[in-house]
Amino acid sequence: MTTAFRSTPSLQADVGGGRISVHGAVKRYGTFEALRGVDLEIESGEFLTLLGPSGSGKTTLLNSIAGFEKLDEGDIKLDDRSLGNLPPHDRNFGMVFQAYALFPHLTVLENVAYPLRVRGLRKAERQARALHYLEVVELVDFRHRLPSELSGGQQQRVSLARAIAYEPKVLLMDEPLGALDRRLRQSLQYSIKALHREISATIICVTHDQDEALSMSDRIAVMNEGRIEQIGLPEDIYQHPRTRFVSSLLGETNFLEVRPVTSSAGITIVEERSSGQRFGVKGDMRGTAQLLSIRPENVLLTQEVQEEGISLAVRIRSRTFLGSSWRYECEIKKGPTIIVTCPVGGATHAEGALVNATFPSSSCAIFDADGRSASTELTEPNKHSSNQGRML
- The three-class DSSP label of residue 318 is strand
**Residue 224: per-residue pLDDT:** 96
User: Which residues fall within 8 angstroms of residue 126, CB to CB, at 6 or more apart?
Assistant: 113, 116, 117
Q: Are 40 and 229 in contact (CB under 8 A)?
A: no
Banded pLDDT at 384 (limits 50, 70, 90): very low
What percent of the chain lies above the pLDDT cut of 70? 89
pLDDT (mean) for 343-362: 89
Mean pLDDT lowest among 64-68, 148-152, 265-269, 375-379 = 375-379
76 — pLDDT class (breaks 50, 70, 90): very high
Q: What percent of the chain has pLDDT over 90?
A: 54
pLDDT exceeds 80 at position 357 = yes
Percentage helix, strand, coil, to 5, in the chain?
Answer: 25, 35, 40
Task: Give the confidence band of 303 by pLDDT, cuts at 50, 70, 90.
Answer: confident
| Beta sheet of 325-332, edge-to-edge order | 300-302, 354-359, 310-321, 325-332, 337-343
Contact 100, 173 (CB under 8 A): no
User: At residue 12, does pLDDT exceed 50?
Assistant: no
Q: Which domains does the chain have, with CATH numbers?
A: 20-239 (3.40.50.300), 252-383 (2.40.50.140)
Buried b (16+ CB within 10 A) or exposed e, 42-64: beebbbbbbbbeeebbbbbbbbb
Q: How confident is the model at residue 10 (pLDDT cuts 50, 70, 90)?
A: very low
Over the chain, what is the mean pLDDT? 85
Tens digit of each residue's pLDDT (9 = 90 or more) over 156-193:
889 988 988 888 999 999 988 877 778 777 877 888 88
Those residues whose C-beta lies under 8 Å from the C-beta of residue 297, and which sit 6 or more positions away, are: 341
Q: Which residue has the higher pLDDT, 45 or 336?
A: 45
Range name among 206-210, 332-336, 344-348 with the lowest pLDDT average: 332-336
In three-state secondary structure terms, 139 is coil
Alpha-carbon distances, residue 250 vs 37, 130, 364 (angstroms): 24, 37, 14
Q: Report the range out of 34-43, 164-173, 328-337, 341-350 with the highest average pLDDT.
A: 34-43
Say if residues 177 and 25 touch (Cβ distance below 8 Å). no
User: Helix 123-136 crosses helix 108-118 at what angle (to 10 degrees)?
Assistant: 130
Residue 209 pLDDT exceeds 50 = yes
Greater confidence, 279 or 65?
65
CA dihedral 176, 177, 180, 183 (to 10 degrees): 160
Size of the chain in residues: 392
Q: What is the DSSP letter of 161?
A: H
**How high is the pLDDT of residue 290?**
83
Tell me what pLDDT residue 271 has. 83
Q: What is the pTM of this model?
A: 0.84
133 has a pLDDT exceeding 50:
yes
DSSP summary character for residue 17? P
